[in-house]
Amino acid sequence: MTSNGGWRRWYPVAGVLVGIIYGLALRLIATSRIAGPIMMLGYLVGGPYALGFLSVFVVENNRSCRSRDWLFLPWAPLTGALLGAILALLEGWICVVLFAPIGYALASAGGVTGGGAARALRTRRSKGVTMVCVAVLPFCIVPWEGPVFFRLEIRRVESTIDIHASPGVVWRNLARVPPIHTEELPASWGRRIGLPGPIETTLSQEGVGGVRRASFEGGVVFVDTVDVWEPAQRLGFSMRPVRVPRETLDEHVTVGGDYFDVIRGDYRLEPLANGVTRVHLSSQYRLSTDFNWYAHLWTDAAIANSHWTILSVIRRRCE
């Protein structure tokens, strides 16, 4: 085997390293806020696309790959960059899980484009210019995207559960929620990725004006002010986070932060036949990003998962 042939085996590794270094560099730049926070389309869309493009472009320029490899080769550097961000405490598992579906898809799209460009471009100059243009793509998007894409939405999520108990029994178990033992909590994907589960809800007084203090795992605490009190029928309250530790939920997904906040909750009890009560739990929340079209898929699902957790505890206690 020639010396050149030996080096050719390492070109895929070089492509992966280029992608990892590029991905981590983007994350560090966003952390410093030199060119805007990480929660921008330029980083979340342009970043993985550029990472995929560059990693495949480097490999294809030196060693011809199968076209299908263009799809999956970018996954290695993206995974490396994400793990590096976690180890460096730049990101938490929740953010990585939320980002992963769109991140891997865009990295593959960038890889396909990068592979095609490497085969189409002939001169060293044109290839160099192309790499530079793609590398700076996120920084070209970030400065102008806010006025075009930013949206502030008030969204509502409702969940229901049927409980074999009277409305009076259900009411006693949801107006106040005594301490919840770990074994009472149902298995859920939300808690697996780090979303805090409920611990206890106290109530200062019955009636409108009462204050519910809702405690969650990880030291998260909400203070809810009751504004609807219809015993055995409806309980409504405004919600305000008073404690959200940084180590529990980082700034990108924290409640009450720049991008997300839960505003109010509402329980409504509907008596059915055969002693069954249908409980409707709804939450209103604010979502404020440049990519609500994607973010709401996760925030809706996370709130529905939180609903399911507390409703399951209430049903178990009532039945």
What is the per-residue DSSP string for 221-279?
A: EEEEEEEEEETTTEEEEEEEEEE--TTTS-TTT-TTSSSEEEEEEEEEEEE-GGG-EEE
Q: Check residue 6 and give its pLDDT.
A: 47
Check whether 35 has a pLDDT greater than 70. no
Q: Structure pTM?
A: 0.84
| Residue bearing tokens 């209103």 | 284
Least confident of 34-43, 134-143, 159-168: 34-43
DSSP 100-135: HHHHHHHHHHHHHHHHHHHHH--SHHHHHHHHHHHH
Q: Which of 35 and 157 is assigned the larger pLDDT?
A: 157
Check whether 242 has a pLDDT greater than 80. yes
Check whether 9 has a pLDDT greater than 70. no
Domains of the chain: 3-149 (no CATH), 151-318 (3.30.530.20)
Per residue in 68-104, pLDDT (tens digit) is 889 998 998 999 888 888 887 777 788 888 899 999 9
**pLDDT band at residue 27 under the 50/70/90 scheme:** confident
Helix (H) or strand (E) holding 210: none
Q: Which of 238 and 9 is assigned the larger pLDDT?
A: 238
Q: 65-68: list long-range contacts, CB under 8 Å, 24+ apart.
A: 65/12, 65/115, 67/112, 67/115
Check whether 15 has a pLDDT greater than 80. no
Q: Check residue 28 and give its pLDDT.
A: 80
Q: Which of 4 and 282 is assigned the larger pLDDT?
A: 282
